[in-house]
A and B are shown apart, each in its own frame.
Chain A
Amino acid sequence: MKNVLGRDIPEYIEGIGKLEPFQGAWTKLKKGWMDEPAVAIATKAKLPHENKLCESLEEAIIKANPVNGMTISFHHHLREGDDVIVKCISILSNLGINSITLASSSLTTAHDGLVPYIQDGTITRIYSSGIREKLGKAISKGILDIPVIIQSHGGRARAIRTGKIKIDLAIISASAADCEGNATGAVGKSAFGSIGYSMVDVEHAMQSIIVTDNLVDYPCIPISIAQNFVDYVVKVDSIGDPSKIASGTTRITKSPMDLRIAQLAANVIEHSGYFQNNFSFQVGAGGATLAVAKFIRDKMKKKNITGSFMLGGITSYCVDMLNENLFKALFDVQSFDAAVSSSLLNNKNHIEVPSTLYANPFNCGCLTNKLDIVVLGVLEIDVDFNVNVITSSEGYITGASGGHSDTASGAKLAVAVCPSFRGRIPIIKKRVNTIVTPGESIDVLVTERGICVNPNNKDLELRLRKAGLNIRDIHDLEIEVDGITGIPEKIQFTDKIVGIVEYRDGTIIDVIRQVKE
């Protein structure tokens, strides 16, 4: 069957079940009351002064009574420095456990070591927001029989709440925890800031283990994860490489191209009609996207505008803007650098938020619904404004869905930024490889060669034209760029589906096919 974007979606996939085709960003949510029931929280009891502490990670995992076919969840707040996920899977493999469903909030280059455990059948299914490098390549080449399911951060929270992902065991790394399992990522040598992706896991998991390299005297403050959701606590020597978990402050790019695009994007925002007092704002941490914040910061000061809140992945740049009173609050679901942790700890207006509050579409209103302006990077964008942030120009899984579709759908103004081509690869396509965010959610594309406004948004185009910005038809720009780079050869795929891209509401927006070698 075809979904509303014309993508071929199978009705049923062995090992996954029936698929519901994507029908539009709001078609399903308009109902208000959703058909999918929420799953109950596990009912358990502990006696007073019982000991949750385990001697080793292995002991904790054995106590959780692992079985074949179980679902294990993790968070990716340790990013490229994570040392816990692969270790846990190797322990389970040594215990003879197989057919595991791995449900991590995302996977990074730290998880290339999972490939052998997929080959030997320890892991047979994966849910994740992103997959990169060797792991992504291996999956794109068809190493898994059951396709991976790519979810947005909001979509993952929804899937856990509704039991689509049924977590048997949540293993949560924390940079500080006490003997009862109160835990946080905001303090300690491995501090990583917000632990926002894990909160939904511990609430709905049958069992949870807190893994920390910093066992503190009771109580652990702040309590980001509360003890009433934790079964076991284990102290290990290290949860990862602190320099790769979070280091220093994220710097603004020096790339002249990225700065130019960012400047143009800031001009778009300024004249969009949404740049006014109490506006809310989100930017990513990537090159051009973060640089937009720099130009917006200048414009806010110059025009004497103050905003309401900044959302999302929080960098030290956002913290600086909070400290300058340019915004009232930061809502932090994930912190991108080490400098953020101390702000999260000490500034009451820097608020740690769970992913359900951040972006889950199935509740009474997530924070992304309250967004005015978001700036988003893209791997590819097409003439219908559909965005790919998951597969490379060679067709391999290499990126992450993240909060892209969540924020793009909620924001009044979703600005996509990218160079028109990267190293001879045109970024504007007739049709993107894989759709993660539907074109209806993107209002404007900013490139160094011109600004393209979604034809759905005529008023915006009028305002930007009035301001004298270089507005181009996206079809013309696509042809112009192809003329510069040449037209790349089509990537060849087999019929085998290796990945499914779930839209935030659980419908299927696209599938990823095996790359033909």
Chain B
Amino acid sequence: MVIKQQAQAGTFESSDMLVLVEPVSEGTGRVIELHSPVMVQFGKSIKEEINNALDEYEIKDVRLICNDKGALSATISARVETAIRRALQIQDGVLPS
């Protein structure tokens, strides 16, 4: 699917992740910027969790900025999914921009 607009989900609180989604031109691929205090221990698995969420919505081209504060795996998946759905304009309960 193709990202339509900027969107975000999550907070910058402990054990959460703030996810920002931006559309990019076709063919750019997935540009993922990840900041995390547990990069050394969990960097790989966080990226995997993010990519899994992107796979689910078949997102090819996107820019993601993820500010992690030690979120657990389920939190990461939920935040990324919500941010993507908002960016795809398919999330219910979102105020029109």
On A, residues with C-beta under 8 Å from B are 393-394, 422-425, 484-486, 488-489, 491
Contacts and interface: CB of A to CB of B under 8 A. Distances in A.
B36 to A, nearest CB: 9
Contacts of B45: 486
Contact of B40 (A485, A486, A489): A489
Most B Cβ at <10 Å: residue of A424, A425, A488, A489: A424
A354 B79 CA distance: 54
Given A424-B72, A425-B70, A486-B73, A393 B41 contact: yes
Interface in B48-97: 69-73
Contact of A425 (B41, B43, B73): B41
A425 B38 CA distance: 8
A394 B14 contact: no
Give 4 closest A-B pairs by Cβ, nearest first.
A423-B70, A488-B41, A424-B70, A424-B38
Contacts of A425: 38, 41, 70
Contacts of A489: 40-44
A252 B50 CA distance: 38
Interface size class of B (residues with CB under 8 A): 10 to 19
Contacts of A394: 40-41
B37 A423 contact: yes
Nearest to B40: A394
A486 B44 CA distance: 11
Interface of B: 14-15, 37-38, 40-45, 69-73
B40 A424 contact: no
Contacts of A491: 40-41
B38 A488 contact: yes
A486 B42 contact: yes
Contacts of A422: 70
18 contacts: A394-B41, A423-B15, A423-B70, A424-B15, A424-B38, A424-B41, A424-B42, A425-B41, A425-B70, A485-B72, A486-B42, A486-B45, A489-B40, A489-B41, A489-B42, A489-B43, A489-B44, A491-B41
A263 B42 CA distance: 31
Contacts of B43: 489
Nearest to B49: A486
B34 to A, nearest CB: 14
A423 B40 contact: no
Nearest to A424: B70
Contacts of B41: 393-394, 424-425, 488-489, 491
B88 to A, nearest CB: 28
A424 B44 contact: no
Nearest to B38: A424
A191 B62 CA distance: 57
B92 to A, nearest CB: 29
A299 B43 CA distance: 45
Contacts of A485: 72
Contact of A484 (B69, B70, B72): B72
B42 A488 contact: yes
Contacts of B71: 424
B53 to A, nearest CB: 16
Nearest to A393: B41
A489 to B, nearest CB: 5
A76 to B, nearest CB: 27
Contacts of B14: 423
A210 to B, nearest CB: 42
